Amino acid sequence: MKSVALSTAKRTLDTLFEQVAEGEPIYIRGKGKEVVLVSTEEWRGLLETMHLLSIKGARESIIEGMRTPLDECSEEPGW
C-alpha cells in the first residue's frame, strides 16, 4: 500500500483520488494520526465482509460452500 505524508496528500489529492478510484488504497500519515483512503467500492466490500463475519455460522457456511464441488450443488436456492 502506498504511504504518503499529509502534506503530500494535500498537494497531490487529484492524483491520489485517481489511484484510489483505480483500486489502490493510500495510507496517509500526519500530525500523529494515520488514515487509509479507499474507494467507495472497497469500503462497501469491507463493510459487507464485516457484516457477514458477524453472523454466527456464516463463515463456516461460506467455507463449506466454497469446498463443495459444483456438480454437487443444487440449481435451486436452498432458502
- Count of structural domains, the chain: 2
Return the higher-pLDDT residue of 63 and 11. 11
Dihedral class, residue 31 (left if φ above 0, else alpha if ψ from -120 to 50, else beta): left
Sign of CA dihedral 46, 52, 57, 63: negative
> Is residue 77 in a domain?
no
**Non-local CB neighbours of 14 within 8 Å, separated by 6+ positions:** none
Residues 35 and 46 in one domain: no
pLDDT tens, residue by residue, 28-38 = 999 999 999 99
Residues 31 and 45 in one domain: no
Task: For residue 51, give its domain range.
Answer: 41-67
Instruction: State the CATH number of the domain containing residue 15.
Output: 3.40.1620.10
Residues 34 and 10 in one domain: yes
**Residue 2 pLDDT level (bands cut at 50, 70, 90):** very high
Full-model pTM: 0.67
> Is residue 62 in a domain?
yes
Can you name the residues that pair with 73 across neighbouring β-strands? none
Residues 11 and 32 in one domain: yes
